[in-house]
């Protein structure tokens, strides 16, 4: 591609594609003819990256695990680092700098019960991207149960035993909430403890539904 730019000593080459290298030579022209080419030079246009994507925060015991995706575009220059900003309702943001090849970070040594806020930005040789969306999480020493726990008061040979059962089936929960009969089989154990076989609980529930018809 040739461009005649007149009697100037500078030129701004526009409408280029970031990340693609371009090569240039300059030749002087007068009324007599065209001079020799200058030494060839090259350049690669670039911009700051897009913001990191899909930032998530998962709480644990005195820690929070952050995960994210790299920017949709690095602007034509590889991401060299990530800047994580963390703050609470009563503190200013603190910057944590990570290498550009990371997409996960374990933030440890946190206080349980305190909500921490996070945002992240990507940096390349040109500059720093816009910030990601803000996420938050609250570390806790006792994590929630996988299933809700319901306590049944089971009568076994005249003794009342409180038994905690993880309710993994909605139908059990609904029957208990509406105080409908739930037949369970309890193993013969000391008065202070009892165990429930969830498989047998399912079978007993089917029998109870047949009897209720």
Burial (Cβ within 10 Å: 0-12, 13-18, ≥19) of residue 153: exposed
pLDDT digits (tens, 9 = 90+) for 119-139: 999 999 999 999 999 999 999
Rounded mean pLDDT, 83-93:
94
Same domain, 121 and 157: no
Question: Could you read off the pLDDT of 138-194 as tens digits, one per residue?
Answer: 999 875 544 444 444 444 444 444 444 444 444 444 444 444 444 444 444 444 444
Domain boundary among 96, 113, 137: 137
155: in domain: yes
Is 180 part of a structural domain of the chain?
A: yes
pLDDT (0 to 100) of residue 126? 94
Tens digit of each residue's pLDDT (9 = 90 or more) over 18-28: 878 888 888 88
CATH of the domain at 115: 2.60.40.10
Q: What angle do CA 159, 161, 164 make, to 5 degrees?
A: 165
Which residues, at least 6 apart from 126, have a Cβ–Cβ distance to it below 8 Å?
46, 47, 48, 75, 77
Q: Is residue 8 part of a domain?
A: no
pLDDT of residue 25: 86
Q: How many domains does the chain have?
A: 2
Give the count of beta carbons closer than 10 Å to the beta carbon of residue 20. Answer: 10
State whether residue 21 is helix, strand or coil. Answer: coil
Domain check: are 75 and 132 in the same one? yes
Mean pLDDT of all residues in 105-131: 96
Please tell me whether residues 57 and 119 are part of one structural domain: yes
Identify whether residues 94 and 158 lie together within a single domain: no
Same-domain status, 123 and 154 = no
Residues 75 and 133 in one domain: yes
Last residue of some domain: 112, 137, 162? 137
Averaged pLDDT, 61-84: 96
- Give residue 111's domain range: 53-137
Q: What is the DSSP string of 50-118?
A: PPPEEEEEEE-SSEEEEEEE--S--TTS---EEEEEEE-TTS--EEEEEETT--EEEEESPPTT--EEE
Q: Which residue has the higher pLDDT, 17 or 154?
A: 17
Domain contains 102: yes
Q: How far is CA 179 from the centre of its chain?
A: 41
Residues 72 and 126 in one domain: yes
Q: For the whole model, what pTM was predicted? A: 0.58
118 and 170 co-located in one domain: no
DSSP state for residue 203 in the 8-state scheme = H
In a domain, 132, yes or no: yes
Q: Are residues 100 and 162 in the same domain?
A: no
What is the mean pLDDT of the segment spanning 191-200?
Answer: 52
**Domain end point (choices 113, 137, 161):** 137
Find out whether 83 and 68 touch, Cβ atoms under 8 Å: no
Cβ atoms 57, 65 nearer than 8 A: yes
Residues 153 and 114 in one domain: no
Is residue 22 in a domain?
A: no
- How far are the Cα atoms of 59, 108, 148, 200 from residue 144, in angstroms, in the given order? 11, 20, 9, 26
Answer whether residue 1 is part of any domain: no
């Amino acid at each position: 591609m040739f461009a005649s730019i007149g009697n100037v000593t500078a030129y701004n080459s526009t409408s280029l594609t970031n990340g693609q290298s371009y090569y240039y030579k300059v030749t002087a022209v007068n009324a007599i003819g065209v001079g020799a080419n200058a030494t060839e030079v090259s350049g690669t246009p670039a911009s700051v990256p897009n913001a990191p994507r899909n930032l998530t925060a998962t709480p644990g015991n005195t820690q929070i695990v952050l995960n994210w995706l790299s920017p949709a575009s690095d602007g034509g220059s590889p991401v060299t680092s990530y800047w994580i900003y963390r703050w609470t309702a009563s503190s200013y943001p603190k910057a944590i700098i990570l290498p550009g090849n990371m997409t996960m970070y374990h933030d440890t040594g946190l206080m349980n019960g305190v909500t921490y806020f996070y945002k992240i930005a990507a940096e390349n040789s040109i500059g720093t991207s816009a910030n990601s969306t803000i996420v938050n999480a609250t570390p806790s020493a006792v994590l929630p149960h996988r299933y809700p726990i319901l306590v049944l008061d089971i009568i076994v040979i005249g003794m009342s035993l409180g038994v905690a059962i993880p309710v993994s089936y909605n139908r059990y929960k609904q029957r208990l909430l509406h105080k409908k009969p739930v037949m369970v089989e309890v193993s013969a154990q000391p008065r202070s403890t009892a165990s429930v076989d969830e498989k047998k609980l399912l079978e007993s529930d089917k029998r109870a539904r047949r009897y209720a018809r």
